[in-house]
């Protein structure tokens, strides 16, 4: 899809736009065409919403599986596909994730931070296998979510040695500093809260080092080609993140690839395969 | 549209904010394909009037300020995004602060004292605390000996520090009363070396209050609204350094929001206005 980069400018807005071609997985693969009238009401509502808001025609293109859809996406035969990591990996150089769906019980894809004492050379998850870890609490933000994030990287609950549940992030940091644990696991918000100082340029964690930081991997994500115009990409994100409020029937169908869907949320480019995430420090 | 006009404040307690926002402006400009102009408003009211009148396309408003705009122009302005913190919370808090060398330890100790509010249009610094005081059986119009309006969070803290006020009430975020807070004017000022947070005591923390919203004019092209919402929502994922540079907490993200999430604040503001129009309560002993 090659829509104009300045679609907000009136003259360019009048330029006819190419259709948005969406990959669908079906046991009856077929060429791209307008959404069938026999589709369920949710699907019709979704495609109608996209057509209206993107001011273009929507075509659906059926493929037998996600791998085939990914290949067609990379080859420029479709513009958008829902992929998993296995389908995405071979086309990662030409495509990127833009959206996933947050499941209602989950917090979203908040980054987890694994910190060690400064000077400790175990500055990656592999080196911390069997190490004792302290968590900042036992609720979903301080325990469930970081555990899920680490499990995505192959560090399941039994990956580490002794696991200590502290009363708070501050307590966890104290235990790490006291040598009661080799590493501390927090969500990114708690890490920053305990480290950012109250004096100019003060950072209270100079004695600690981040061994790993990363978001949970997306299990499935909406993927587009890297050459999709920014305007179209952001428009798609803007339409989808509000869909559960603006068009719930369309959302219920479009987000059904995740159990208990709560909302679409944006992703970084490599959300399906990421091994770590950029952070501020 | 030939350009995107974005109203901002915040430079009062952090002069570097405008400079740091240059990366944000460049990001939004690339997303929209349009020049992005930042209009620096002196206070909440500047942002309120600029978005209500259509002089700007987008701004960030706390709940009471949005309620003010909603009362003026209704659906012509709508909230589109708000911040969800790492722990899933979507609210912030009001802190009643006193100087730590004072004898004020609890709300009751403020009876007859000088109270400094932030601004009539401030959610955390006026509207919400007054409502919560009423819920505690305290009439904010008669409880204090004297009441003043500081004009901003920074000014409120400076007046508290200098002894003009015995107490003030300001916004705090990036945590909760159990974990402590990391964002808010007095934290920003402390990090600039302008004050020591230990000089102040939190007398009462109330909340959560629905987080500040990104609001936009709804008479702009739908494509513009969708692009802005999408680009802003993608920011913490694609450009985490710019996200933090805008003052947002680490681990937080933007989520879609509607007028419905601010209905409570809209109702509180209306209630406050009704009380104000009714005039001051009768003096003690009056028949």
pLDDT, tens digit (0-9, with 9 covering 90-100), for A87-134: 999 999 999 999 999 999 888 899 999 999 999 999 999 999 999 999
Section B195-216 average pLDDT: 93
The answer to whether B49 touches B71, Cβ cutoff 8 Å, is no
Listed in sequence order, the residues at least 6 apart from A262 whose beta carbon sits closer than 8 Å to its beta carbon are A101, A102, A103, A104, A106, A244
pLDDT band at B10 (very low <50, low <70, confident <90, very high): low
Alpha-carbon torsion, ordered A6, A9, A14, A17, to 10 deg: 20
pLDDT band at A278 (very low <50, low <70, confident <90, very high): low
CA A159 to chain centre: 24
pLDDT, tens digit (0-9, with 9 covering 90-100), for A16-40: 689 999 999 998 888 999 999 999 9
Tell me the count of A-B CB pairs closer than 8 A: 162
Give CA–CA dist B20/B59, Å, rounded.
17
Question: Is the pLDDT at B118 greater than 90, yes or no?
Answer: yes
Section A4-22 average pLDDT: 63
Specify which residues B72 forms β-bridges with.
none
B147, burial (CB in 10 Å: exposed 0-12, middle 13-18, buried 19+): middle
Give CA–CA dist B149/B114, Å, rounded.
11
B15 touching chain A per CB within 8 A: no
- The interface pTM score, or ipTM, of the predicted complex is 0.90
Q: How far is CA A155 from CA A135, A139, A166, A220, A277, in A?
A: 14, 19, 20, 20, 16
pLDDT, tens digit (0-9, with 9 covering 90-100), for A133-187: 999 988 888 999 999 999 999 998 789 999 999 999 999 999 999 999 999 999 9
Which letter, b or e, does each residue of B79-96 get, where b requires 16 or more Cβ atoms within 10 Å of its Cβ?
Answer: bbbbbbbbbebbbbbbbb
Lowest-confidence region among B15-29, B33-47, B76-90 = B15-29
Question: Is the pLDDT at A1 greater than 50, yes or no?
Answer: no
Does the beta-carbon distance from A278 to B240 stay under 8 Å? yes
Give CA–CA dist A197/B250, Å, rounded.
14
* Edge-to-edge order in the sheet of strand A183-187: A163-165, A133-135, A183-187, A112-117, A208-214
Question: Is the pLDDT at B157 greater than 70, yes or no?
Answer: yes
Average per-residue pLDDT for chain B: 90
Interface of B with A in 181-200 (CB under 8 A): 182, 187, 190-193, 196-197
Does the beta-carbon distance from B191 to A198 stay under 8 Å? yes
Does the beta-carbon distance from A279 to B229 stay under 8 Å? no
Q: Which residue of B has its CA nearest to A236?
A: B230
pLDDT for position A253: 98
pTM, entire model: 0.87
Listed in sequence order, the residues at least 6 apart from A13 whose beta carbon sits closer than 8 Å to its beta carbon are A4, A7, B221, B223
């Amino acid at each position: 899809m090659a829509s104009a980069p300045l679609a907000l400018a009136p003259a360019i807005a009048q330029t006819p736009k190419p259709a948005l071609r969406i990959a669908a997985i079906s046991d009856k693969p077929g060429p791209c065409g307008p959404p069938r009238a026999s589709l369920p009401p949710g699907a019709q509502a979704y495609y109608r919403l996209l057509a209206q808001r993107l001011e273009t025609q929507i075509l659906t293109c059926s493929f037998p599986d996600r791998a085939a859809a990914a290949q067609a996406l990379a080859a420029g035969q479709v513009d958008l596909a829902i992929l998993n990591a296995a389908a995405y990996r071979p086309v990662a150089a030409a495509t990127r994730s833009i959206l996933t769906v947050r499941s209602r019980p989950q917090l979203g894809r908040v980054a987890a931070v694994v910190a060690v004492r400064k000077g400790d050379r175990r500055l990656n998850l592999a080196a911390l296998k069997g190490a004792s870890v302290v968590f900042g609490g036992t609720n979903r933000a301080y325990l469930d979510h970081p555990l899920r994030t680490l499990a995505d990287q192959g560090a399941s609950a039994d990956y580490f040695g002794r696991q200590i549940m502290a009363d708070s992030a501050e307590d966890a940091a104290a235990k790490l500093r006291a040598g009661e644990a080799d590493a501390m696991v927090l969500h990114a918000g708690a890490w920053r809260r305990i480290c950012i100082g109250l004096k100019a340029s003060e950072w209270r964690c100079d004695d600690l080092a981040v061994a790993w930081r990363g978001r949970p991997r997306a299990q499935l994500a909406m993927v587009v080609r890297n050459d999709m115009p920014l305007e179209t990409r952001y428009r798609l994100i803007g339409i989808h993140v509000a869909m559960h409020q603006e068009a719930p029937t369309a959302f219920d169908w479009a987000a059904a690839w995740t159990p208990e869907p709560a909302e679409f949320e944006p992703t970084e480019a490599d959300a399906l395969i990421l091994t770590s995430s950029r952070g501020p420090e | 549209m030939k350009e995107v006009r974005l109203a901002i404040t915040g430079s009062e307690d952090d002069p570097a904010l405008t400079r740091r926002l240059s990366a944000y402006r460049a990001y939004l400009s690339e997303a929209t394909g349009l020049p992005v102009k930042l209009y620096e408003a002196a206070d909440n009211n500047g942002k309120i009037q600029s978005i209500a009148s259509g002089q700007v396309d987008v701004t960030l408003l706390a709940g009471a300020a949005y309620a003010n705009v909603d009362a003026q122009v209704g659906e012509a302005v709508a909230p589109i995004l708000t911040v969800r913190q790492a722990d899933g919370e979507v609210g912030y808090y009001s802190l009643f602060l006193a100087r730590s060398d004072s004898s004020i330890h609890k709300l009751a100790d403020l009876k007859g004292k000088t109270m400094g509010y932030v601004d009539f249009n401030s959610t955390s610094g006026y509207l919400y605390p007054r409502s919560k005081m009423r819920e505690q059986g305290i009439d904010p119009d008669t409880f204090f000996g004297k009441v003043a309006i500081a004009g901003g969070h920074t000014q409120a803290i400076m007046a508290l520090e200098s002894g003009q006020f015995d107490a003030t009430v300001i916004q705090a975020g990036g945590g909760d009363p159990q974990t402590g807070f990391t964002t808010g004017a007095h934290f920003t000022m402390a990090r600039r070396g302008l004050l020591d947070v230990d000089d102040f005591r939190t007398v009462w923390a109330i909340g959560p209050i629905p987080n500040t919203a990104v609001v936009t004019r709804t008479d702009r092209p739908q494509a513009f609204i969708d692009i802005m919402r999408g680009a802003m929502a993608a920011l913490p994922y694609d450009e985490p350094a710019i996200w933090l540079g805008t003052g947002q907490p680490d681990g937080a993200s933007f989520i879609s929001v509607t007028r419905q999430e601010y209905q409570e604040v809209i109702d509180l503001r209306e209630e406050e206005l009704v009380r104000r129009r009714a005039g001051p309560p009768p003096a003690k002993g009056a028949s």
